[in-house]
Amino acid sequence: MEDNKMAGKVKKPGKRGRKPAKIDLKAKLERSRQSARECRARKKLRYQYLEELVSSKERAICALREELEMVRHQLDMNSDFKHMIELCVREKLHNADHRGQTHSQFKHTSLSALRFLVFK
């Protein structure tokens, strides 16, 4: 027994390392199959989640594209409207020159009203 003692610990006689496992081969195979089934189930759930995520992101992209198109259309209309107002103002300035009305008198009355309408 003295040979088996090391620094106060008692060594058990026998082989070193792992002992051969006395596991039933059928039980081991069944655990492996069960683990594989669980892995496939997790994989399936993960793919379903990712497909739903992609679908929701695609819907969000479509909604944003529609909103962008609507904003672009509004900007185009607003730009066209501003261009028409600018043409009207130029024409009125031209007519005011012919009537002898000064630009400052015309700008004070007409342009302030137009700015109110355009930049409202």
Which burial class, exposed, middle or buried, applies to 30 when counting CB atoms under 10 A from its CB (0-12, 13-18, 19+)?
Answer: exposed
Mean pLDDT of the chain: 76
Q: Taking 70 as the threshold, does the pLDDT of residue 99 lie above it?
A: no
Q: With beta carbons less than 8 A apart as the criterion, state whether 106 and 92 touch.
A: yes
Kindly list the domain boundaries of the chain, sorted by start residue.
Answer: 24-118
Q: With beta carbons less than 8 A apart as the criterion, state whether 92 and 105 touch.
A: no
More confident residue, 107 or 74: 74
Cα-atom radius of gyration of the chain, to the nearest Å?
43
3-state SS assignment for residue 61: helix
Helices (H), 1-120: 25-99, 103-106, 112-118
Q: With beta carbons less than 8 A apart as the criterion, state whether 96 and 103 touch.
A: yes
Compute the average pLDDT of residues 48-62. 96
- Compute how many other C-beta atoms are within 10 angstroms of the C-beta atom of residue 114: 17
Report pTM.
0.47
3-state SS assignment for residue 10: strand
- Compute how many other C-beta atoms are within 10 angstroms of the C-beta atom of residue 25: 7
Compute the average pLDDT of residues 105-113. 55
